[in-house]
Homo-oligomer: A and B are copies of this chain.
C-alpha cells in the first residue's frame, strides 16, 4: 500500500477545497462566502486553507481555472467530432441543461464576474478567462452554423455575446427551485431562431 506523494496529497486537498469553494461562492457570493465554511465542508481546518492558498481570491482564481479548463476541454472534444446538426443541437441542449441544472457552476461564474466588477486587480486576471470562454462559445456557434449549412451572419461576433448573456440571465432566474424551468428549451429556441433567420 503506497502512501501518497506530497504532491498528490496536496492536489487532493486542493480539489476538495475547490469543490467546497465552488459551492460556497455560488451560494453566498465572494464576499459572503466564509473560508471557515469552505474548509469545514471540505473536511479541513482553517490552517489547511492557508497552507494551500494565499487568500480567498486565490482560490477563486484556482476554481475558475480548473473548472473552466474542464468545461472547455469537453466542448473541444465534442466539437472535434463531425456530427450532424441534430446531434450538435442535442448535445448543446444537454450541455445547457447540465449547466443550468446544477446551477453551482453558473452561479459561481456570475459571482466571479461580480467580483471582477468590484476589484480592478482581479478583473485583470479574470479577463483571461473571459477571452477563453468567448472564444469557445464562438467556436461552438461557428460549428453550429457550418453544420447547419448556413453562412455566418455579419453580426456573428455579437451573437456569441448574446448567447452568453442569455445563459447568464437564465442562470440567475433559475434556481427558485420550485419549478424545473424550461430554460434549456428557451435557449434552443433562441439558437434555432437565429439559425433560421440567417
Chain A interfacial positions (CB closer than 8 Å to B): 27-29, 31-32, 110, 113-114, 117-118, 123, 155, 158, 161-162, 164-170, 172-173, 175-176, 182, 185-186, 189-190, 193-194, 196-197
Contacts and interface: CB of A to CB of B under 8 A. Distances in A.
Prevailing SS type, chain A contact patch: helix
Contacts of A155: 189
A180 B192 CA distance: 29
24 contacts: A28-B31, A28-B118, A29-B31, A31-B31, A31-B32, A32-B118, A117-B175, A155-B189, A158-B182, A158-B185, A161-B173, A162-B166, A162-B186, A162-B189, A164-B173, A165-B165, A165-B170, A166-B166, A167-B169, A168-B168, A169-B169, A169-B170, A193-B197, A197-B197
Contacts of A166: 162, 165-166, 169
A172 B171 CA distance: 12
A160 B138 CA distance: 25
